[in-house]
């Protein structure tokens, strides 16, 4: 730092302010010089040229990424300092696509990424029958503490909640969230969620039959993962409620062999029963995907008890019949651990009155965009998000993605964008 000579006059207040301002401009310019690279486009199957839904696009060495929408369309913003590292595109059943970040043209929104299907390993029928599938699942559940983070984690992520009335979108809620997970407590605690930025589009065409059809706590449902609590239907003695069988093929995920284990209820007496599949990484027995769909009897159990639970607030007082309730959760590797990648829940219900029948379908989807360290106290109770109905209502007749500024987000589909034609004024 320069030293003022004794005979030099003291700088004036204006000069000092000007110096501070210039230093600020220099520092901001340095930050901006680091910058970000933005790309967008579509993920497709190389052989069929069909879109691949929900593929993950990210710089895995940095713990950053995003998800393509159901039509394979994506938007991804990653730091320029990671330009020499690989942008990896991955999805179950395909070989990873890797391309150095610097090889993309910044702001190119017409990128087409072709994924090559991985040839599955066919398993002999006798081996399938003799394979101890239950033992593999039990072992994977036992290894959760070692395969997943045992320290507090902060995730910046994107949340999307939609309601379709028959085929039309009549309510869309979206938000950037900060989610804090702490696996250290001996008792299970919910993830803590803070709203960073959120908006809501609500159509004037929404029927009164669906007026109370919503998940006020939807974010809590799809940000939950096995690092902070095992699925209740597989935990402890509940594991004996299901039979398990190895699939006749070994698939591929993030360039690793993955066992697929089907599960189904052992009898009709199992409450809230599900049919599903657990995908387990062959190398370290980590669970990398869980998906399930309630059986017809399971749906009946859920709806019978719905009025005494959170789901009762979702369904309201209208006559209703559950049609489908399904879920999937994916995990991705980072620094030799596995973390929540994205999670989705879908519920479809028929509502009736004397003159009308409508189908209402809610889909909740959360994707983790950044994995960061946390001290476990970054989201205090006073900042936690309680109700997605409080998202800022949008009345401008456009689906403006500039709203998200520098945050990664899920690209809205064409049918979703049409909701702006019927917004509440």
The confidence score (pLDDT) of residue 49 equals 98
Model confidence at 307: pLDDT above 50: no
> pLDDT tens, 389-404?
889 999 887 888 889 9
The confidence score (pLDDT) of residue 320 equals 76
- If one compares 180 and 26, the residue with the highest pLDDT of the two is 180
Model confidence at 214: pLDDT above 50: yes
Q: CB 347: neighbour CB atoms within 10 A?
A: 23
Model confidence at 190: pLDDT above 80: no
- Over residues 349-365, the mean pLDDT reads 90
The confidence score (pLDDT) of residue 316 equals 54
- Over residues 164-187, the mean pLDDT reads 91
Percent of the chain having pLDDT more than 70? 88
Model confidence at 321: pLDDT above 90: no
String of b and e for 56-88 (b: at least 16 CB within 10 Å)? bbbbbebbbbbbbbbebbbbbbbeeebbebbbb
Model confidence at 304: pLDDT above 80: no
**pLDDT level of residue 244 (50, 70, 90 thresholds):** very high
CATH number of 36-115: 2.60.40.1120
Contact status, residue 300 vs residue 273, Cβ threshold 8 Å:
no
The confidence score (pLDDT) of residue 13 equals 54
**pLDDT level of residue 413 (50, 70, 90 thresholds):** very high
Sign of CA dihedral 54, 329, 97, 39: positive
Rounded CA-CA distance 407/154 in Å is 15
Percent of the chain having pLDDT more than 90? 70
- Over residues 224-246, the mean pLDDT reads 93
Which of 105-114, 212-221, 302-311 is the most confident on average?
105-114
- Over residues 156-183, the mean pLDDT reads 95
- Over residues 122-133, the mean pLDDT reads 92
Sign of CA dihedral 377, 232, 257, 344: negative
Rounded CA-CA distance 12/144 in Å is 63
* Strand 287-294 relative to strand 274-281, pairing: antiparallel
The confidence score (pLDDT) of residue 390 equals 86
Q: What is the SS3 assignment for 230-262?
A: CCCCCCHHHHHHEEEEECCEEEEECCEEEEEEE
**pLDDT level of residue 100 (50, 70, 90 thresholds):** very high
Question: Which part of the chain has CATH 2.60.40.1120?
Answer: 36-115
> pLDDT tens, 42-94?
999 999 999 999 999 999 999 999 999 999 999 999 999 999 999 999 999 99
Model confidence at 357: pLDDT above 50: yes
The confidence score (pLDDT) of residue 312 equals 43
């Amino acid at each position: 730092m320069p030293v003022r000579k004794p005979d030099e006059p003291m700088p004036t207040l204006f000069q000092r302010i000007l110096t501070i301002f210039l230093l600020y401009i220099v520092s901001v310019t340095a930050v901006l010089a680091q910058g970000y690279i933005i790309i967008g486009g579509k993920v497709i199957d190389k052989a069929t040229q069909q879109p691949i839904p929900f593929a993950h696009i990210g710089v895995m060495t940095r713990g950053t990424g995003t998800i393509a929408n159901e039509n394979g369309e994506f938007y991804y913003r990653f730091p320029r300092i990671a330009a020499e590292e690989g942008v990896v595109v991955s999805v179950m059943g395909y070989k990873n696509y890797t391309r150095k970040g610097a090889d993309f043209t910044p702001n190119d929104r017409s990128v087409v990424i072709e994924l090559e299907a991985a040839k599955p390993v066919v398993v002999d029928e006798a081996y399938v029958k003799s394979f101890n599938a239950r033992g593999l699942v039990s072992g994977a559940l036992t290894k959760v503490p070692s395969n997943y983070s045992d320290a507090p984690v902060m995730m910046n992520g994107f949340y999307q909640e939609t309601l379709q009335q028959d085929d039309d979108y009549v309510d869309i809620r979206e938000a950037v969230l900060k989610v804090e997970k702490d696996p250290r407590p001996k008792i299970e605690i919910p993830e803590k969620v803070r709203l960073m930025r959120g908006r809501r589009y609500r159509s004037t065409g929404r029927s009164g039959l669906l007026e109370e059809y919503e998940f006020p706590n939807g974010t809590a449902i799809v940000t939950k993962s096995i690092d902070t609590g095992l699925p209740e239907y597989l935990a402890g003695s509940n594991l004996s409620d299901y039979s398990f069988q190895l699939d006749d093929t070994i698939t591929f995920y993030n360039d690793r062999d993955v066992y697929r284990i089907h599960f189904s209820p052992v009898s009709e007496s199992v409450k809230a029963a599900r049919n599903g599949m657990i995908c387990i990484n062959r190398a370290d027995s980590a669970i990398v995907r869980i998906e399930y769909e309630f059986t017809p009897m399971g749906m009946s159990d859920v709806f019978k008890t719905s009025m005494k639970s959170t789901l009762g607030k979702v369904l309201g007082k209208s006559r209703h019949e559950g049609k489908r309730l399904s879920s999937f959760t994916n995990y991705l590797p980072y620094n030799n651990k596995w973390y929540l990648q994205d999670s989705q829940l879908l519920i479809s219900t028929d509502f009736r009155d004397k003159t009308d029948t409508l189908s209402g379908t809610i889909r909740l989807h959360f994707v983790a965009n950044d994995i960061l360290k946390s001290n476990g106290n970054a989201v205090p109770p006073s900042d936690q998000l309680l109700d997605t109905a409080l998202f800022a209502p949008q009345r401008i007749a456009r689906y403006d993605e500039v709203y998200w500024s520098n945050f990664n987000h899920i690209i809205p589909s064409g049918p979703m964008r049409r909701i702006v034609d019927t917004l509440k004024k």
